[in-house]
Amino acid sequence: MQLPEKVKIVEVGPRDGLQNEATPVPVEVKLALIRKLEEAGLPVIEAGSFVSPRWVPQMASSAEVFRAIDPKPGVSYPMLVPNRKGLDAALETGVKEIAIFAAASESFTQKNINCSIGESIARYSDVMQGAEQAGVKVRGYVSCVLGCPYEGEIAADRVAEVAGRLHDMGCYEISLGDTVGVGTPLKAQRMIDAVSQVVPVAQLAAHFHDTYGQALANLFAVLQQGVSVIDSSVSGLGGCPYARGASGNVATEDVLYMLNGLGIETGIDMDRLLQAGQYISEHLQRQPASKVARALTAKA
C-alpha cells in the first residue's frame, strides 16, 4: 500500500469551526485558540473570513483577529474571500493568503454565496487577478464534492470541472469539501480519480466533515491515492451555516492519531493540540467531538 511520508494538516477550526457558533466568540478567545494551534505546530491556520457580517455574524471580527495575530515564521493564516469586496478588505488588513470557495452544486452555491456556479467563477477570476497583482496566494475550495444538502448525489465529473476551473485560474491548491459529511471511501476515491485527471494529486486537499462518522475512513482511502493535505478542525468544531444538519470537520486530534499510527510525519504535537482543543471546548462549554481527545484526556 502506498501512503505519503508526510501530510500537511490545514487547521480550519478558527474559521470553519467557529463560523456557525450562534454566540459571538470574543476576539481574545479566537486569538488564544490560534496561538495554541501555532504552539501545537500547525503549519496553516485558517483564521477567519471576509464575508457579509449579515450572512455570517460570527466572522465579523475577522479583520480585528487577523490584525492582532503575531505571525509565527513558517505559519500561514489564510482568510476566506467570496468576492472583490472581500478581497479589498483582506488586502487592507494585510492578508497574505486567501481562499476562494466554489461548489459543485448549483443549489448550494445559490444558498451559500447567492449566485450561480458560472457567476461565482467569473467573480473569482476577478478576485484572482486582484490577488495576483497584490502578490497574495490563493487556495480554492470546492464544496459538496460527495453530496449536496439540497441536490443529493453529485457526479464526480462536475466536481472535476469546477476544481479544474479553479486550478486553471491559478489556485495553488484545491481543497475538496465533503460539506455535509455524507461520503464513503469508494465514493471518495472515485471523486479523487476524476479530479486528479485535471488537477495533479499533489495539489489536492481533502476537507471532510464527519457527520456520518466516515471522515477518517474516507481520508485513509484518499491517502492511498496520494492526497497529502488534510483539512481538519480542532475538537471537531463546526459546520457550514448553509448545510443544515452537517456537523463539524473531522477532528484534528483524530486525524493526527491516525497519521501517527500510520507512521506519517506531520510535525504536530498531540499534547499541545489537546490543550488547544480543551481550551476552546471549555469556552464553548461543550465536550470535544473528537473521540481521541476524549480518550486521551480521560486517560490523563
**DSSP assignment string, 266-283:** ----HHHHHHHHHHHHHH
66 binds, among ligand HMG, Mg ion, none (CB under 5 to 8 A by kind): none
Residue 85 interacts with ligand HMG (CB under 6 A): yes or no: yes
Q: Which stretch binds ligand HMG (CB under 6 A): 50-58, 162-170, 218-226, 276-284?
A: 50-58
Q: Are 98 and 81 in contact (CB under 8 A)?
A: yes
How many angstroms separate the CA atoms of 10 and 266, rounded? 11
Number of residues that bind Mg ion (CB under 5 A): 1
* Local structure of 33: helix, strand or coil: helix
Residue closest to 251 by CA, chosen among 208, 220, 280? 208
Contacts with Mg ion, 15-44, as mask; x by CB under 5 A? -x----------------------------
Residue 86 interacts with ligand HMG (CB under 6 A): yes or no: yes
Q: Which stretch binds ligand HMG (CB under 6 A): 33-41, 70-78, 82-90, 281-289?
A: 82-90
Specify the DSSP element, H or E, that contains 64.
helix 62-68
10 bridge partner residues: 44, 231
Q: Which is nearer to ligand HMG, 237 or 274 (CB)?
A: 237
Q: Which is nearer to Mg ion, 16 or 97 (CB)?
A: 16
9 bridge partner residues: 230
Q: From the candidates 144, 148, 171, 240, which is the catalytic residue?
A: 240
- Distance of closest approach, residue 183 Cβ to ligand HMG, in angstroms: 11
Q: Which is nearer to ligand HMG, 250 or 268 (CB)?
A: 250
The order of strands in the sheet holding 97-103 is 44-45, 8-11, 229-232, 204-208, 173-178, 137-143, 97-103, 79-80, 48-49
Selected from 66, 77, 141, 279, the binder of ligand HMG by CB under 6 A is 141
Pick out residues in 161-200 that bind ligand HMG (CB under 6 A): 177, 179
240 flagged as catalytic: yes
Q: Which is nearer to Mg ion, 16 or 253 (CB)?
A: 16
Contacts with ligand HMG, 210-249, as mask; x by CB under 6 A? ------------------------------xxx-------
At a CB cut-off of 8 Å and minimum separation 6, what does 271 contact? none
- Distance of closest approach, residue 78 Cβ to ligand HMG, in angstroms: 11
* Local structure of 169: helix, strand or coil: helix
Q: Are 169 and 175 in contact (CB under 8 A)?
A: no
* Angle subtended at Cα 174 by Cα 169 and Cα 175, rounded to the nearest 5 degrees: 145
Contacts with ligand HMG, 95-114, as mask; x by CB under 6 A? ------x----------xxx
Instruction: Give the number of other CB atoms < 10 A from CB of residue 4.
Output: 19
* Contacts to Mg ion by CB under 5 A: 16
* Contacts to ligand HMG by CB under 6 A: 16, 19, 49-52, 55-56, 80, 82-83, 85-86, 89, 101, 112-114, 141, 143, 177, 179, 207, 209, 240-242
Q: Which residues are catalytic?
A: 240
